Amino acid sequence: MTQLAARRLRRLVLVVAVVLFGGGCTAGAIAWNPPIRPIAAPAPASFPAATVAQGATLAAIGDCAVCHTAAHGAPFAGGRPIPTPFGTIYATNITPDPTTGIGHWSLAAFRRALRHGIDRRGEHLYPALPYTHFTHATDADIAALYAFLMTRRPVHAVAPANRLPFPLDWRPLLAGWNLLYLHPGVWRPDPAQSAEWNRGAYLVQALGHCGACHTPRNGLGAEETGQALAGGKAEGWYAPPLQAGSPAPHKWTVAELTTYLRTGVDRAHGAAAGPMRQVTDELATVPAADLHAIAVYIATLMPPAPPTVPPRPAPVADSSATAIFAGACGACHAADAPMTRDGAPSLARSTAVNATTPRNVIAIILHGLPWRDGHAGPYMPGFADALTNAQVAAIAAYVRAHYTDRPPWPHLPAAVRAARHDQALHAASRSQAMRAASRDPAVRAASRDQIVRAASRDGDRT
């Protein structure tokens, strides 16, 4: 971390501490929450199959597996680091393992966690779990999620300890945060809108928690009220506005949004490359009616007309950038490349290329779109090791100038350095999580268990 970043972080921590402590004191009376009595893990057969299936859909819309599964880990067994500006928080084990998961949790305890961010023992949970959104989920949906999770295979696994600076590691402070930013309450449909629009709005605002990434956050990590879906940050990427501020050069239609959400790529716009890719992988399993409802809702928020018509490619003066683009990118992205002739969208149509920030273009150049086992989808190589920072900055400037008529991005070299730095941080937190996990005897025993169980194929309840 640079000195400046360290100083900023310290100042932020101090402000957070003071504000939260003030809030925490006034919230003293509500800071204590009683533990909810443990129950014997319910028998999987006690849940109706239709409820479990409904829960599977809702879990996909809520990305439960995305956060609660570590790299190469068992589904829902936790251990994935969630980076936040305040430190790293590890998603916990939500399989029905009685000692390390939620096997002893009653439906009431589970509902309190999703609605109020309080665990079974009465401890506050960090809002890295998007309970400010989940709080609006209906009783029936929460019960279906519970049925789904309680019928998964129990996995014995302990998440590594969170890495948060004092005093943010003191959970009671969150009582103050909740007082300011948690607004529980039943989700209310808008009677002026269609049933489908309302279904989409509910899914987006409650379980889908789209705003967790697409809404900007304030200094205390809470989503800015009044700026819903106006563009935010996610794991070093820019989650573009999904409302009037959308920089998409071609207006998103309901059909295009549905295709993008289901497949991660739409021919009129482009592909999900960053954190959105995991979201669309999950949505791929969701019934078409729900995706269509989400698309109907999002489409009504988008600007009525495209902010600009995609311009015709313009010649760019920087001849070295032109040469690097032709060599590194042209085989796929040039107008006469097979991929483009095959119907892949021109970069002129890309939201990333038209956005106010170069963040996603830089991230795509560095990381590409990796192959992933078991998922079909577009592939692009990453250039992190092949190109210098100056070359990445030059290509980003070239793409912006060649494919749009928008103003050049300022401070590109600094943005590339920042992106490399983010990348290093994420890699470090991932490998730290793995080291911590391999040191933890419970986790070592759990992975041994998993191997034994996989070998014998016994006790598999999913």
Task: Name which position in 23, 83, 274, 358 contacts ligand HEC (CB under 6 A).
Answer: 274
Asked if 380 interacts with ligand HEC (CB under 6 A), we say yes
Asked if 258 interacts with ligand HEC (CB under 6 A), we say no
Contacts 24+ apart (CB under 8 A), 62-70: 62/134, 62/145, 62/207, 62/208, 62/209, 63/209, 63/278, 63/279, 63/282, 64/94, 64/145, 64/149, 65/282, 66/278, 66/279, 66/282, 67/91, 67/128, 67/129, 68/92, 68/93, 68/94, 70/433, 70/437
Asked if 62 interacts with ligand HEC (CB under 6 A), we say yes
Number of C-beta neighbours around residue 333 at 10 A: 19
The site string for ligand HEC over 416-455 (x = CB under 6 A, - otherwise) reads ----------------------------------------
Q: Is the peptide bond before 81 cis (omega within 30 degrees of 0)?
A: no
The site string for ligand HEC over 233-252 (x = CB under 6 A, - otherwise) reads -x--x-xx-x---x-x----
Asked if 395 interacts with ligand HEC (CB under 6 A), we say yes
Asked if 350 interacts with ligand HEC (CB under 6 A), we say yes
Residues in 292-331 at the binding interface with ligand HEC, rule: CB under 6 A: 294, 298, 328-329, 331
Residue with Cβ nearer ligand HEC (7 or 79): 79
Give the DSSP letter of residue 17. Answer: H
d(CA 397, CA 389): 12
Residue with Cβ nearer ligand HEC (220 or 257): 257
Asked if 76 interacts with ligand HEC (CB under 6 A), we say no
Number of C-beta neighbours around residue 45 at 10 A: 9
Residue 233 structure tokens:
């940050």
Residues in 276-295 at the binding interface with ligand HEC, rule: CB under 6 A: 276-277, 279, 294
Is the C-alpha dihedral spanning 382, 384, 385, 386 positive or negative? positive
Asked if 57 interacts with ligand HEC (CB under 6 A), we say no
The site string for ligand HEC over 158-187 (x = CB under 6 A, - otherwise) reads ------------------------------
Q: By CB under 6 A, which span of 36-44, 187-195, 217-225, 360-368 interacts with ligand HEC?
A: 360-368
Q: How far is the CB of 430 from ligand HEC (least distance, A)?
A: 15
Task: Name which position in 27, 77, 118, 271 contacts ligand HEC (CB under 6 A).
Answer: 271
The residues, any chain, with a CB within 8 Å of residue 317's CB and separated by 6 or more, are none
d(CA 154, CA 362): 40
